[in-house]
Structure 1
Amino acid sequence: METKLDKNRMEKVRRRCGFMNGIEVEVEGSRGGLCLAWKKEISVNLRSFSKWHIDALIKEDNVKEEWRYTGLYGSPYLKDKNTVWNLLRRLDQEANYPWLVEGDFNEILFSFEKSGGVQRDNKRMKAFRETLEDCQLVDIGYSSHLPYSSSDHCPILLDTNKSNAFTGSRKFHFEALWTMEESLEEVIRES
């Protein structure tokens, strides 16, 4: 998550939340700052990090195969967009494991996803869609948003233990990117 906190303060918050293990990336001014926190039963091998990302290999006791997690903070500034998308493409080249990427991309896929404010440039949205398509990202777990306080973003809790997955009724959530999938109509019919 984007923390907007300096490393020491974020470490204190992380520990108060019961996560003794973690990685913090320093905030720059009032923007950015990243944190990845995990429980002691999980082994995390840090691969790389920057002000835009944390990339790690994850090994869980109850899962045979290692998998890869990348937490991404997409720059809100136009001048940095290509840097972040190129970073994501470069990280994709190292994808020898099941890979989950999540975070705040600070971008939208289609203009109807935005309400109010200045209209988003079509070239920016297209570049974002192309980056996601090039990387063929796959979700391997269940995530939910947690309450937040000092940031304008919610922390994300990822639970890969399927027995802990949410089983109650969930509100349907439609992602516009699904319409780009050739198999969409077949999946809808089968459902």
Structure 2
Amino acid sequence: MDSVKSSLYFENKIVVEAKGSAGGLCIMWKNGLSIIGVEHNKNMIAIKISNVVCDWLLVGFYGPPYHSKKKKAWENLFALLESHQGPWVCLGDFNFVVNDNETLGSRKGGSFTTNYLKELMAELGAIDLGFTGSKFTWAKGKWGNAPIKRRLDRGVASISWRLAFRKASIAHLGAIKSNHTPILLDTNPSESFAHRPFRFEAAWLRDNRCPIVVENSWKTKTTGSEFVKLYKKQAATRDALRKWNKEVFGQCQNKINSLLQKIKHVQDSPPSQENEATEILLQSELSKWLIRSEALWRQKSRELWLKLGDKNSRFFHLSTIIRRRRNNIDAIKLENGSWSSDLKEI
């Protein structure tokens, strides 16, 4: 593996040696990264990564295809992930599918064997990171004429990791001399700009300044036919609301964090009537901003079955991230059958 490491210009590695032509795992990284080896065995390698976003666990996992070896390998993975307190992401060949849509050409339906991948996602609240590219990652035989194909390789992550890396995506690359396609995790893909349509935010109605913004912009003097005047007034109102939203609600989380710091400072100060009155005002203002934040994320998440008032912004935030990743177009399939991630072509 040293020659492979050098040819790829990596300086560090953790290797689990293969037995003959079977098995073997490896993780490589370059100097300058803060990485600590956590655990490794014949089925997984786990490392802890520290960067500007957070400290998180990366696990490369290989799920044995043989029933007699599955239980121990998955028990070790469960134990590792349950013991880790921070964000984590796990990639690899799990040798399980989650539903029938991930299988082509073989018998579908329930199985009498335990699906450890489903259990892991249910018990740990793990999230499938999705993918771009070919739907399947494994083929029985030649890819061009394989009778059976499945999505056996994927990435799953904890909720906290998904929230920390909102833009992260996985791409299924082309298979080269293998019945498995490589999968590529990009934690910070390049931005793709798309025009976003104007939407009226429910949270605006909770602010007394909203009607004033609408009223003032509607008073804008316009010329032309009645239809043209109506169009121009609507456009002026839309632009005014966008500007006001950016100024007032654009820094919503920053405002919440600032209020939390002020409340902590007051609570750490010596007790006094003045501090008591200040804390009451700060708590009241914080409650208003939390309600605004919840309403914003609630509308964006489209999880309409939850009742307004739970202040469960973390859930709404996660729902929005998952929906945006699902709706985002990261790659397109060209007429010749190849995949392109070029933003201009997309």
TM-score using structure 2 length: 0.41
Give the drift of 1:87: 1.5
Change (3 A) 1:104 1:84: same
1:22, distance to aligned residue in structure 2 (A): 1.8
- Verify: 1:133 aligned to 2:158, yes or no: no
Does 1:69 pair with 2:61?
Answer: no
Q: How many residues align?
A: 165
Kept in 2, the 8 Å contact 1:59–1:67? The answer is yes
The one-letter code sitting in structure 1 at the alignment partner of 2:92 is: G
The superposition leaves residues 168-189 of structure 1 with CA deviations (integer Å, 9 ceiling, x where unpaired) of 89xxxxxxxxxxxxx8865599
Shift of 1:123: 3.4
Could you say which residue in structure 2 is the equivalent of 1:97?
86
Query: Which one has more relative contact order, counting CA pairs under 8 Å at least 6 apart?
Result: 1
The match for 1:85 is 74
Task: Check 1:74–1:150 CA distance in 2 against 1; reply closer, same or farther (3 A cut).
Answer: same
**Larger Cα-atom Rg:** 2
- Which residue does the alignment assign to 1:27? 18
- Whether the aligned pair in 2 keeps the contact of 1:107 and 1:125 (CA below 8 Å) is no
Partner of 1:56: 47
Distance 1:13 1:145, change over 3 A: farther
Q: 1:131 Cα shift?
A: 2.1
Overall identity of the aligned pairs, in %: 31
Contact 1:69 1:101 in 2 (8 A): yes
Per the alignment, do residues 43 and 123 of structure 1 end up closer, same or farther by CA in structure 2, a change over 3 Å counting?
farther
Tell me the CA shift for residue 146 of structure 1.
Answer: 4.9
- Which AA in structure 2 matches 1:29? G
| Aligned: 1:159 with 2:186 | yes
> Partner amino acid for 1:99?
W
CA shift for structure 1 position 64? 4.5
**Does structure 1 retain, via aligned residues, the 8 Å contact 2:46–2:60?**
yes
| Residue identity opposite 2:71 in structure 1 | N
Cα 1:142/1:110, change in 2 over 3 Å:
closer
Deviation at 1:116, TM superposition (A): 2.6
| Residue identity matched to 1:41 | G
Aligned-pair CA distance for 1:81: 1.6
The aligned amino acid for 1:159 is: D
* Matching residue's letter, 1:48: E
Contact 2:57-2:88 within 8 A present in 1 as well: yes
Equivalent residue letter for 1:36: I
User: Deviation per CA, 1:125-173, whole angstroms, max 9, x where unpaired?
Assistant: 644311222122324433434556464334444333x3x436389xxxx
Q: Which structure is higher in strand share?
A: 1
- Taking the aligned partners of 2:94 and 2:302, their CA distance within structure 1 comes to 24
Asked whether the equivalents of residues 21 and 38 of structure 1 are also in contact (C-alpha less than 8 Å), the reply is: yes
Name the structure 1 match of 2:105.
Answer: 116
Distance 2:60 2:90 in 1: 6
Going from structure 1 to structure 2, the CA distance change for 1:40 and 1:184 (only over 3 Å counts) comes to farther
Does the 8 A contact of 1:72 with 1:103 survive in 2? Answer: yes
Structure 2: tracts of 5 or more residues without a match? 127-157, 195-300, 305-318, 328-346
1:44-77 deviation digits (Å, cap 9, x = unpaired): 10010011000110013xx142111111001111
- 1:24 deviates by 1.6
- For structure 1, the 5+ residue unaligned runs are 1-7, 170-182
Structure 1 residue 120: Cα displacement:
7.3
The CA RMSD over aligned residues, in Å, is 3.1
In 2, Cα distance between the equivalents of 1:120 and 1:14?
43
